[in-house]
């Protein structure tokens, strides 16, 4: 059993107290209310399918991540050459040019974080499935971090978008996004949705006995 002691009645979850909060606006309602009185959102105490959504979005994100690395991210046309570069290729090129900082940023933002997100969300989902009772705080914090950082993976896409928008000097230099940009964006979106679908209360539910 976890550290929570239900029989003392010191800590009561809202669910046990028969309350439900709107996930959007936080308004507390009595259980049984269908619609939030404040934001008209659907009231649901626990979403049983949330884990499915998490997994679905996660898988989609993973699937979309592969073309993002295979296909070129940037199509660069200068006066004398046209080149396509993938994310990793771009990182390597940047490192070859000596821009270690930017290379590091791109690597972190475009490789480390998405992969890390995949792993994190996967771990969270698995841990919820297994009703793991240990390190709940850490897992909750992990969830918070994942959700917070997720959006920052779009940096790479922003870079591509800004470059494409700015460097359109017809003959001299023009940068166009490749397929990988779209794919990467999708991957990031999917992971964000996945993280958003994850209900962190499920982490704490493992500490409870069968709760309806």
Partner 1 sequence: MTNTPSPAEMEVRPMREGLLSRLSFVWIVPVIALVISLGVAWQNFASRGPLVEISFSSASGITAGETVLKYRDVTVGRVEAVSFDEGLGDVLVNVRVDKDIAPYLDDDAVFWVVQPNVSLRGISGLDTVLSGVYIAGDWDREADVAQTQFIGLEDAPALAPNRPGMQITLRARNAEALSDGVPILHKGIRVGYVDQPELGPDGDSVISTAFINAPYDRLITDETRFWAASAFSINVNTSGLSLDVASLASLLEGGIEFDTVVSGGQPLGDDPVFDIFENATVASDSLFSDPDLPAFDLAVMFDGTIAGLRRGSEVRFKGIRVGQVNEISAVVDDGVGDRLAVDLRAVLGVEPARMGLAEDASDEEVRAFFDTLVSNGLRARLVTGSLLSGALTVELLQLDDAAPVDFDAAGDPYPVLPTTDNLITDVTATAEGVLQRIQSLPIEDVFNSAIDLMNAIEDVARNEDLQQAPGSLVALLDEARALVASDDVQAIPGDVRGVINGVGGIVLSAEEAQLIAKLNAALSTANVTLANIAQGTANLPALTAEAEAVLAKVNALQLATLLTQTENTLNAAEVLLRGEDMQALPAAVNGLLTEGQTALAEARALIASDDLQAIPGDIRGVIANLDGIVLSAEEAQLVTQLSDTLSSANAAATNVAAGTANLPALSAEAEALIAKLNALEVESLLTQTENTLNSVDVLVRGEDMQALPGTLNDLLDQANGTLGEARTILASDDLQNLPGQLSAVIVDLNGIVADIAEADLVAQVQTAITNANAAISNVNDATAGLPAIAEELRALTQTANELELQALVDQTQGTLSSIQAIMDQTETQALPGSVAAALDELRLLLADVNEGGAIANVNAALASANQAAQAIEAAAEGLPGLSDRAAILFNSVDGVIATYGAGQRFNAETLATLRDVQAAADAISNLARTIQRNPSSLLTGR
User: Rounded to the nearest whole angstrom, what is the least distance from the CB of residue 37 to partner 1 in the complex?
Assistant: 26
Structure token digits, residue 52:
């499915």
Q: Go through 175-184 and write b for each residue having 16 or more CB atoms within 10 A of its CB, e for each that does not.
A: bbbbebbbbb
| Whole-angstrom distance, CA of residue 102 vs CA of residue 22 | 42
Residues 110, 95, 107: CA angle, nearest 5 degrees? 15
CB closer to partner 1, 7 vs 81:
81
Q: Which stretch binds partner 1 (CB under 8 A): 23-31, 32-40, 48-56, 121-129?
A: 48-56
Residues of span 171-190 touching partner 1 by CB under 8 A? 171, 186, 190
Instruction: Sketch the per residue contact string, 81 through 110, with partner 1: x for CB under 8 A, - otherwise.
Output: xx----------------------------
CB contact set of 2 (below 8 Å; sequence gap of 6+): 133, 136, 206, 207
| Whole-angstrom distance, CA of residue 85 vs CA of residue 72 | 5
User: Rounded to the nearest whole angstrom, what is the least distance from the CB of residue 17 to partner 1 in the complex?
Assistant: 20
Instruction: Sketch the per residue contact string, 115 through 154, with partner 1: x for CB under 8 A, - otherwise.
Output: ----------------------------------------
Return the bridge partners of 121, or none: none
Among 19, 59, 102, 182, binds partner 1 (CB under 8 A): 59
Residues that bind partner 1 (CB under 8 A): 48-49, 52-53, 56-64, 66-67, 79-82, 170-171, 186, 190, 197, 212
């Amino acid at each position: 059993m976890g550290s929570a002691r239900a029989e003392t009645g010191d800590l009561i979850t809202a669910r046990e107290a028969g309350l439900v909060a709107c996930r959007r606006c936080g308004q507390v309602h009595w259980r049984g209310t269908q619609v939030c009185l404040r934001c008209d959102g659907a009231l649901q105490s626990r979403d049983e399918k949330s884990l499915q959504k998490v997994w679905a979005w996660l898988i989609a994100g993973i699937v979309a991540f592969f073309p993002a690395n295979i296909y070129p991210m940037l199509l660069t046309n200068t006066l004398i050459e046209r080149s396509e570069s993938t994310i990793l290729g771009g990182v390597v090129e940047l490192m070859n040019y000596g821009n270690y900082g930017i290379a590091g940023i791109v690597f972190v933002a475009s490789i480390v974080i998405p992969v890390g997100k995949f792993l994190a969300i996967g771990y969270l989902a698995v841990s919820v499935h297994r009703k793991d009772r240990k390190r709940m705080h850490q897992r909750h914090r992990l969830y918070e971090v994942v959700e917070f950082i997720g959006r920052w993976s779009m940096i790479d896409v922003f870079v591509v978008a800004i470059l494409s928008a700015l460097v359109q000097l017809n003959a001299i230099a023009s940068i166009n996004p490749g397929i990988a940009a779209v794919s990467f964006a999708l991957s990031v979106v999917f992971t964000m949705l996945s993280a958003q679908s994850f209900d962190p209360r499920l982490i704490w539910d493992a500490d409870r006995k069968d709760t309806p």
